[in-house]
Amino acid sequence: RNSGLPRQPGSMATSLLPPAPLPVDGGSSAQGLLALLEEENPALKGHALQQLYHVVDQYWAEVANEVPLIEELSEDPTFEHRHLAAAVASRCFFHLEEYNDALRLALGAGRYFDVAASSSSRTAAENQFVDTLVAKCIDEY
């Protein structure tokens, strides 16, 4: 079916993986993104995790149902986005007030858990997350 608009090479792939966070099911659910975690394609899983990272503080209760899968991805040394998976799972455990698990995963999240970043460059939720886990780390170690 021809819409009369010129097609550009690669335009379909570009439209499937936008760089900015997507609205999640009209802004009311993370279910669509969570469903992508079941896909075989690692790029789709990575895309879902990227989007979930931006909305996990809002939809953590939904994401919590998939934490075992996300945690499994974070432990897979062949999965390119394992640090991102660790970051998403860590944020979810943080909201569940499971601080030991949140800290364990945050320490495996690489650049996604940057305690050296200026607090003015982070959101209030990110500051609370980092401050709480740093305090937990000091208490534990």
The three-point CA angle 124-129-132 to 5° equals: 120
Average the pLDDT over 22-47 and give the result.
Answer: 83
Residues contacting residue 73 through CB under 8 Å, at least 6 positions apart = 37, 45, 49, 79, 81, 82, 85
pLDDT of residue 27: 54
Residues contacting residue 34 through CB under 8 Å, at least 6 positions apart = 48, 52, 62, 63, 65, 66
Average the pLDDT over 106-120 and give the result.
Answer: 91
Which burial class, exposed, middle or buried, applies to 54 when counting CB atoms under 10 A from its CB (0-12, 13-18, 19+)? middle
Per the listing, tokens 């993986």 go with 17
pLDDT of residue 40: 95
Q: Which of 65-69, 74-78, 118-122 comes out lowest in average pLDDT?
A: 118-122
Is residue 87 scored above 50 in pLDDT? Answer: yes
Is residue 111 scored above 90 in pLDDT? Answer: yes
Q: Give all domains of the chain, ordered by start, each with its CATH number.
A: 30-140 (1.25.40)
Average the pLDDT over 32-42 and give the result.
Answer: 95
Spatial distance between the Cα atoms of 41 and 65, rounded to a whole number of angstroms: 21
Per DSSP, helices labelled H in the chain are: 11-16, 31-36, 42-63, 67-74, 82-95, 99-107, 124-140
Is residue 2 scored above 80 in pLDDT? Answer: no
Is residue 105 scored above 60 in pLDDT? Answer: yes
Contact between 108 and 83 (Cβ < 8 Å): yes
